[in-house]
Structure 1
Amino acid sequence: MAEQQGVIGRIETVLRIAVELPTAALVLVEIFVLLAGVVSRFVFHHPFVWSDELASILFLWLAMLGAVVALQRMQHMRLTAVVSRLRPVRRDLAEVLAVAVPALFLAILLPVACDYALEEYEIVTPALGWSNIVRAGAIPVGTALMLLSCLLRLVRFRLGSLIAVAAALAALALGLHFAQPLLKAIGNWNLVFFFVVLLAAGVLLGVPIGFAFGTATLVFLMCVTRVPLTIVVSRMDEGMSGLVLLAVPLFVFLGLLIDMTGMARAMVAFLAGLLGHVRGGLYYVLLGAMYLVSGISGAKAADMAAVAPVLFPEMKRRGSNDGEMVSILSASGAMSETIPPSLVLITIGSVTGVSIAALFTGGLLPGFVLAVALGVVAWWRSRHEAVGERASRQEILRALVVALPSLLLPFVIRSAVVEGVATATEVSTIGIAYATVMGLFVYRRFDWRRLYPMLLETASLSGAILLIIGTATAMAWALTQSGFSRDLALAMAKVPGGGFGFLLISIVAFVVLGSVLEGIPAIVLFGPLLFPMARAAHVNEVHYAMVVILAMGVGLFAPPLGVGYYAACAIGQVSPDAGMKRIWPYLGALLVGLLAVAAIPWLSTGFLKT
């Protein structure tokens, strides 16, 4: 057995290296291609007509190979709150299931993906003149590599657990086979079984969210429709190929870069100098730092990772409770969801057609309103804590000078989009170039040894996110084609209270969705369905986007299901139990601020160009 495990380990190592090297290279190439496009267009006024097309081709490969890296590292998003409470024997079965279900999904998808790629052979790309199989081939290659990774991991489990899970899946498949007439007879009520019961069971048992979406969609199509399964691959391709989503890996990398270069630390140090002497001042610093850093990285995990390690040691020294610290960190993550360039804002723009520039403009003030609400709670809760010494004017001025390049970065990013220098996708490369120059020549902190791990972390997180978007797009298509959107529209139309009633129902729905699905998959699934309803209810699209994003943020960071809360605990190295009782006043403040944003549309639309 030990010899067998050793052979498997060597195979996994070779496979990991074979995938990670080209994946890291893809991230770098994407940055250079997009930055070259910006420079050629804005500086030399001679745009490269092929840059976007090449970036799109490479992006699909980056998404699929990044998903492979995430699977190898076990970094696909999954809900573990229920599994962690199971007894050891049942927990082992759940861990086997979390690998077996993706393996089953990938095994069904692989031949279909190969057929889809072959069908793309005759299509020629307009600028480069390449066969489209060069791009579409990423899907079967990534699927095959993920399947191989799953199979290698499965053979590491105990044989008894494997047999038990295989028997349970076989029994479920047999039951679905014989239940097909009944499932077809009940009409759209079968959606409750496939996309509520079956999907929820998979998510709660720890199946990675992206694979849970894909499996539920495949099972639905196979059981109650005659739709060819290639539609799943084509919808995944569509969902993962939107060029605007290329901002996902680039902003993730930018967040890691500002942490590595010391830019985030400089910002926090300046804010601490301003407010460190005020009672609860470091709580305000945390809120301000999350507000500023969110405007740079666009990813909540990167935001919290940039702020918490810098502030938490000093907060502990001043007597802050561990639970209090992780509570305000979680709440600030929810607060900053609308601050550009949030990945959720970019996702909404890509799936609903709302202007990303308008979303970037509209997101600043709602985030500030929630920051003020959290600041009031922080002031009350910190009234018994010690305060630090007041920094001198010279020390504050010195910290400002050091932090100024960092403080300018959010404004550089936003100005580049507003002034038309770069698109929302390309602007991240300007931020990367800016941070690189600052790290090399101003802060003189650029650890070249960390570059490769950062590229891999970028690819892994991006692959996990983009796989969710791809499978959620396929699920959204299945729900739409089933007539679900029409039924939902009829139900929402009956909600009393007009536009505000629609907003209140949406808040409740997205708080629940955010706690279970997280923001991006929830938006991909329900954005195309609900935004047209918001227009019909005379609710401004940007205003509606701010409301649902903040509602999802509350759900995402609310225990016991919100996975963002557990991410905050992991980053802050605080036990989740410590914050369970202390987070509720902050969540209450978030809800009050959310209702204020919902009731006052000007907070979201007041600065939009008419």
Structure 2
Amino acid sequence: MIGAIFAALPLLLTVAGVPIFIILLAVTALGINHLGTADLRIIHTSIFGGLDSFPMLAIPLFIFAGDVMAQGGIARRLIRLILSLVGGIPGSMGVAAIGSASVFGAMSGSSVACVAAIGRLTVPTLIEQGYGRRFSGSLIAATGVIDIIIPPSIAMILYGITAQVSVTQLFVAGVVPGIMIAALLSLYVMVRASVMGTVRSARPQLPVVLGALRDSTWAMFAPVLILGGIYGGIFTPTEAAGIACTYSIIVSVFIYKELSWADIWRIATSSSVLVAQIMLLVAASSAFGWLVTTSGLPQKFMALIQGMNLSVWAMLLIFNVVLLLVGSLLDPPPAILILVPLLAPVVQAAGIDPIHFGLVVTINLAIGMFLPPFGINLFAANALFKIPLGELYRGVLPFLVIYLIVLGLITYIPELTTVPVGFIMGLTQ
């Protein structure tokens, strides 16, 4: 019976189109009633307990800060600066889009926001320069998920809270994978652009670079302030999110003067919709997590894995396949909140570093966001740029290969994530 509650019921409700948070609450209520270990009032306690978290405040703050930066001129100036530096090389506009998404990821944590902000500014130019609609839209859909991997990352914050590990250490661990992905994507774009014979942007000229540098000084200081403060131990990720909001408002309203207070209110209202969706999931998954823990399901799952006598190598391979499939169906927040309470005890028992596994989870779910046929970034690119989904499915395949290569390296060479964490944490202590 308990198996039907945890497996069959969510599947049926998902097929019926029921919202995820309602599914989680329904499963929790039925599970509590079946087990008889507590009454339904525990749901209220779990919901409010899950939301009453200081690290959780970073999520709405980073989302709001990212929206302000996208609309307040900060993102546009960063693209202009990066383009002025990489002009003249094959695929310069594509490389600029990748670099801009990476820098934008260091200021925000929303992948769809990155697709919208960077895509609107780069896709028309990419098409004009001969990259083609399919390649341009696919590039942005795949590049947008760097926001999930490069800190600060909403997915990492949720993983850190759920797995009870340091969010700051997760942020540090995400730097190397993010740089690897950006570098390999840029290399592929340069080779592809050379073959396609796309138009090259003007070579870097000192007056142009200095002008872009002068115009984007305040924009460049944003990621330095946010990440420098976190890694330097000056403030926590949550405090960094609050500083990011304040800084982005000051720069956009008083320095660049591209936003009014009415615009700030409009952005706050629109970003609150996404925040509400995430918080509903957090609230429902807190109750669901309590049920999973008290039902003994993690112990049964751990016993099943141990009974298979799998090596750590094989176990990680299975987890990767499961996470990729789940990531293609669910956004990172609900996927993390549902799976991590189940997987964390197994990972701990197997001796896998929880920070390393956090990056494995994050990269898998990032790939899922543009994995055909249900990746949300594909639908975002389709809606924003009117590119048929069939073309996007074919267009993202080369980028999918690149991400899978990095996923394999991160999965089986944990030192790529653990060594930077040990080094940075050693400096700040």
Q: TM-score, normalising length from structure 1?
A: 0.66
The separation in 2 between residues aligned to 1:318 and 1:491, in whole angstroms, is 55
The separation in 2 between residues aligned to 1:233 and 1:199, in whole angstroms, is 21
Contact 2:170 2:355 (C-alpha < 8 Å) held by counterparts:
yes
Report the equivalent of 1:233.
Answer: 44
Alignment counterpart, residue 177 of structure 2, candidates 366, 382, 387: 366
Report the equivalent of 1:258.
Answer: 69
Shift of 1:494: 4.3
Alignment counterpart, residue 279 of structure 1, candidates 85, 90, 114: 90
Report the equivalent of 1:595.
Answer: 408
Report the equivalent of 2:395.
Answer: 582
Aligned ranges for residues 207-606 of structure 1 at < 5 Å? 207-222=18-33, 225=36, 227-382=38-193, 383-384=195-196, 385-494=198-307, 498-606=311-419
The separation in 2 between residues aligned to 1:359 and 1:305, in whole angstroms, is 26
Contact 2:378 2:392 (C-alpha < 8 Å) held by counterparts:
no
Contact 1:335 1:590 (C-alpha < 8 Å) held by counterparts:
no
Summarize the Cα distance change of 1:197–1:415 in structure 2 as closer, same or farther, 3 Å threshold.
Answer: same
Summarize the Cα distance change of 1:319–1:540 in structure 2 as closer, same or farther, 3 Å threshold.
Answer: same
Contact 1:337 1:367 (C-alpha < 8 Å) held by counterparts:
no
Contact 1:333 1:557 (C-alpha < 8 Å) held by counterparts:
no
Shift of 1:223: 5.1
Shift of 1:196: 2.7
The separation in 2 between residues aligned to 1:605 and 1:298, in whole angstroms, is 22
Report the equivalent of 1:17.
Answer: none
Q: Which has the larger radius of gyration?
A: 1
The separation in 2 between residues aligned to 1:228 and 1:361, in whole angstroms, is 41
Contact 1:499 1:534 (C-alpha < 8 Å) held by counterparts:
no
The separation in 2 between residues aligned to 1:254 and 1:373, in whole angstroms, is 28
Summarize the Cα distance change of 1:306–1:427 in structure 2 as closer, same or farther, 3 Å threshold.
Answer: same
Shift of 1:556: 2.4
Summarize the Cα distance change of 1:216–1:572 in structure 2 as closer, same or farther, 3 Å threshold.
Answer: farther
The separation in 2 between residues aligned to 1:400 and 1:444, in whole angstroms, is 18
Classify the secondary structure of the residue corresponding to 1:297: coil
Q: Match of 1:372, as an amino acid?
A: A
Q: Match of 1:360, as an amino acid?
A: F
Contact 2:281 2:334 (C-alpha < 8 Å) held by counterparts:
yes
The separation in 2 between residues aligned to 1:391 and 1:206, in whole angstroms, is 52
Contact 2:123 2:137 (C-alpha < 8 Å) held by counterparts:
no
CA deviations on 1:109-137 (whole Å, 9 max, x unpaired) are: xxxxxxxxxxxxxxxxxxxxxxxxxxxxx
Alignment counterpart, residue 206 of structure 1, candidates 14, 17, 26: 17
CA deviations on 1:373-422 (whole Å, 9 max, x unpaired) are: 32333234332123233242211221122122212211201222233432
Report the equivalent of 1:76.
Answer: none
CA deviations on 1:298-326 (whole Å, 9 max, x unpaired) are: 11122222211111111111122222122
Contact 2:302 2:345 (C-alpha < 8 Å) held by counterparts:
no
Classify the secondary structure of the residue corresponding to 1:298: coil
Contact 2:75 2:117 (C-alpha < 8 Å) held by counterparts:
yes
Q: Match of 2:241, as an amino acid?
A: S
- Percentage identity across paired residues of the two chains: 26
Contact 1:502 1:537 (C-alpha < 8 Å) held by counterparts:
no
Classify the secondary structure of the residue corresponding to 2:237: coil
The separation in 1 between residues aligned to 2:346 and 2:37, in whole angstroms, is 30
Contact 1:354 1:542 (C-alpha < 8 Å) held by counterparts:
yes
The separation in 2 between residues aligned to 1:209 and 1:386, in whole angstroms, is 45
The separation in 2 between residues aligned to 1:497 and 1:367, in whole angstroms, is 30
Q: Match of 1:489, as an amino acid?
A: M
List runs of 5+ in structure 2 lacking aligned partners.
none
Classify the secondary structure of the residue corresponding to 2:420: coil
Shift of 1:582: 1.4
Q: Match of 2:293, as an amino acid?
A: T
The separation in 2 between residues aligned to 1:281 and 1:476, in whole angstroms, is 46
Classify the secondary structure of the residue corresponding to 1:425: helix
CA deviations on 1:169-203 (whole Å, 9 max, x unpaired) are: xxxxxxxxxxxxxx3xxxxxx32x33333212322
Summarize the Cα distance change of 1:371–1:494 in structure 2 as closer, same or farther, 3 Å threshold.
Answer: farther
Classify the secondary structure of the residue corresponding to 2:144: helix
The separation in 2 between residues aligned to 1:333 and 1:321, in whole angstroms, is 18
Contact 2:97 2:118 (C-alpha < 8 Å) held by counterparts:
yes
Contact 1:502 1:534 (C-alpha < 8 Å) held by counterparts:
no
Deviates more, 1:490-499 or 1:592-601: 490-499
CA deviations on 1:480-529 (whole Å, 9 max, x unpaired) are: 22221011112233455633333222211211121222211221222233
Classify the secondary structure of the residue corresponding to 1:341: coil
CA deviations on 1:409-436 (whole Å, 9 max, x unpaired) are: 1120122223343221121121122222
Report the number of matched residues.
Answer: 421
1 or 2 for the larger relative contact order (CA 8 Å, sep ≥6)?
2
Shift of 1:594: 0.5
Q: Match of 2:212, as an amino acid?
A: A
Contact 1:338 1:366 (C-alpha < 8 Å) held by counterparts:
yes
Report the equivalent of 1:125.
Answer: none
The separation in 2 between residues aligned to 1:412 and 1:215, in whole angstroms, is 43
Q: TM-score, normalising length from structure 2?
A: 0.92
The separation in 2 between residues aligned to 1:446 and 1:334, in whole angstroms, is 27
Summarize the Cα distance change of 1:227–1:354 in structure 2 as closer, same or farther, 3 Å threshold.
Answer: same
